[in-house]
Structure 1
């Protein structure tokens, strides 16, 4: 779930970059882009840590 949220938020960032590059109509500014990337990173790290915890629990470590 967290990985999917991370992918969706990154898709918003990517759409903003594409609009800025091809249509010169980006909807996020510099701070907005930074916050979107920060949120993407947080959700990605949570997903990886959760998956690692599930693996450790399964292995009995």
Structure 2
């Protein structure tokens, strides 16, 4: 779930950057882009940590 959310948030970031580069119509400013990329990074880290915790639980410790 967190990995999918991370992908969605990163896609929003990428779409904003692409709109700014090609159409000069970016939705977010610099701070907005930073916050969206930060959110994608945090969601990705949470997904990886949960997957690692699940793997450790399966292996017994």
TM-score normalised by the chain length of structure 2: 0.98
Unpaired stretches in structure 1, ≥5 consecutive residues: none
- Which residue does the alignment assign to 2:24? 24
Q: Give the alignment's Cα RMSD to 1 decimal.
A: 0.4
- Which residue does the alignment assign to 1:58? 58
Unpaired stretches in structure 2, ≥5 consecutive residues: none
Alignment partner of 1:2 is 2:28: no
Q: Which runs of 4+ in 1 moved over 6 A?
A: none
Paired residues, what number?
61
TM-score normalised by the chain length of structure 1: 0.98
* CA shift for structure 1 position 48: 0.2
Alpha-carbon separation, structure 2, partners of 1:24 and 1:59: 51
Alignment partner of 1:47 is 2:47: yes
